[in-house]
Amino acid sequence: MKALQYHTVGAPPEVVTVPDPEPGPGQVLLRVTAAGVCHSDIAVMSWSADQLPFPLPLTLGHEGVGTVAALGPGAEGVAVGDSVAVYGPWGCGTCFMCAQGKENYCLRAAELGIRPPGLGAPGAIAEYMIVDSPRHLVPLGDLDPVRAVPLTDAGLTPYHAIKRSLPKLVPGSTAVVIGTGGLGHVAIQLLRAMTAARVVALDVTEEKLALARTVGAHDTVLSDAAAAPTVRALTGGRGAEAVLDFVGAQPTVMAAGAMAAVEGDVTIVGLGGGTLPVGFGALPYEVSVTSPYWGTRAELIEVFDLARTGAVDVHVETYGLEEAPEAYERLHEGRIDGRAVILP
């Protein structure tokens, strides 16, 4: 089969032919319908050989949907032909966190060598993929696979991030989304669907801000040195009850802290490597800062249920498998509107 693989540290990913995978005991083989392209893959491909926690080559893609093509011995709970989405943050399934459905925070994944597809295990940007357990599949039902596939990460990750701030996002509150790309443009829609907050979106170009307005941002602000004072002025000096940073670079995390309200939440989702000092004088009183990873299995089901109501519509740009390297190049250059989705 054809697959998009990251072969050599520092080199762009390439379309290669690899043997068709066969499902082992307990595993499920999917014929991939669609796979999303996430900026985290670009972060992974920027790491040095020493930083890479898994061997190459790696088939990319940690957002995947498909139809069940075959079941390995003993695998049950899905049937050939089912339309399913892959819950990507695979865990052991039995530790204290996994028992709560929080496989994204599995306590034993590292020790057992369990890695998400596309981030260590072979990923979804291929004609077929192996899913380690039917537990990691969620039925798509009547959802359009192409528009639904980004929900497995670009939907789930902001959903999980927003959920912790829901009690603070009361009428009259403000939520800021920094970086309105794949995750951010879904975050805006989730905030509009789940809260009464005024949503302020920040990005570096007018094109990105136009998409932010299309998907529901009340206000848009260019992300520069004046952004924090601008958000403070927009909120009558109060600041934002929740700031979600989908960039995570040093200037954006500092701006996030500077625009937070007293008792506000700063949630750093982007892997930009910025760090935000906490301590008296560093931030407004009682600001809470966190950096969450992906989301839980139950939350993915919730995101799909929300999408079924029509409240979330991912803007997708589709590419064939042969064009996948170009999709990564465009994402790297900031030229994707919404999410790039590969149709293998």
Residues near Zn ion, by CB under 5 A: 38, 40, 91-92, 95, 98, 106, 108, 153
Task: Give just the sign of the alpha carbon dihedral 53, 55, 61, 66.
Answer: negative
Q: Of Zn ion, ligand NAD, none, which one does residue 223 interact with (CB within 5 to 8 Å by kind)?
A: ligand NAD
Question: Both tokens of residue 41?
Answer: 């893959």
- 119 is a site residue for ligand NAD (CB under 6 A): no
- 43 is a site residue for ligand NAD (CB under 6 A): yes
Q: Of Zn ion, ligand NAD, none, which one does residue 246 interact with (CB within 5 to 8 Å by kind)?
A: ligand NAD
Question: Both tokens of residue 156?
Answer: 């789930």
- 152 is a site residue for ligand NAD (CB under 6 A): no
Nearest Cα residue to 183 out of 307, 332, 294:
294
Question: Both tokens of residue 2?
Answer: 């054809």
Chain residues 262-321 in contact with ligand NAD, contact rule CB under 6 A: 269-272, 293-294
Q: Of ligand NAD, Zn ion, none, which one does residue 174 interact with (CB within 5 to 8 Å by kind)?
A: none
Antiparallel, parallel or unpaired: β 28-37 and 128-131: antiparallel
- 179 is a site residue for ligand NAD (CB under 6 A): yes
Q: Of ligand NAD, Zn ion, none, which one does residue 155 interact with (CB within 5 to 8 Å by kind)?
A: none
- 210 is a site residue for ligand NAD (CB under 6 A): no
Nearest Cα residue to 214 out of 199, 196, 194:
199
DSSP characters for 297-340? HHHHHHHHHHHHTT-----EEEEEGGGHHHHHHHHHTT--SSEE
CA-based end-to-end distance of the chain: 10
DSSP E strand stretches across 214-315? 219-222, 240-245, 260-268, 288-290
Q: How many CA atoms lie within 13 A of 10 on its CB side?
A: 3
The site map against ligand NAD for 180-199 (x = CB under 6 A) is xxxxx---------------
- 159 is a site residue for ligand NAD (CB under 6 A): no
Of the candidate residues 103, 127, 132, 153, the single one contacting ligand NAD (CB under 6 A)? 153
Q: In this complex, which beta carbon is closest to ligand NAD, that of residue 29 or of residue 188?
A: 188
Q: In this complex, which beta carbon is closest to ligand NAD, that of residue 1 or of residue 222?
A: 222
Q: In this complex, which beta carbon is closest to ligand NAD, that of residue 31 or of residue 315?
A: 315
In angstroms, give the least distance from the CB of 205 to ligand NAD.
Answer: 6
Q: How many CA atoms lie within 13 A of 319 on its CB side?
A: 23
- 78 is a site residue for ligand NAD (CB under 6 A): no
- 331 is a site residue for ligand NAD (CB under 6 A): yes
- 123 is a site residue for ligand NAD (CB under 6 A): no
In angstroms, give the least distance from the CB of 40 to ligand NAD.
Answer: 4
Classify the phi-psi angles of 61: left when phi > 0, otherwise alpha if psi is within -120 to 50, otherwise beta: left
Residue type, 241: E
Chain residues 216-235 in contact with ligand NAD, contact rule CB under 6 A: 223
Q: Of ligand NAD, Zn ion, none, which one does residue 91 interact with (CB within 5 to 8 Å by kind)?
A: Zn ion
Nearest Cα residue to 157 out of 243, 92, 244:
244
In angstroms, give the least distance from the CB of 182 to ligand NAD.
Answer: 3
Q: Of Zn ion, ligand NAD, none, which one does residue 315 interact with (CB within 5 to 8 Å by kind)?
A: none
Q: Of ligand NAD, Zn ion, none, which one does residue 65 interact with (CB within 5 to 8 Å by kind)?
A: none
Q: Which residues contact 175 (CB under 8 A, 6 or more apart)?
A: 162, 165, 169, 191, 195, 197, 198, 199, 200, 240, 241, 242, 243, 244
C-alpha R_g of the chain: 20
Question: Both tokens of residue 323?
Answer: 């064009």
* Interface with ligand NAD (CB under 6 A): 38-40, 43, 153-154, 157, 178-184, 202-204, 208, 223, 246-249, 251-252, 269-272, 293-294, 331, 334, 336
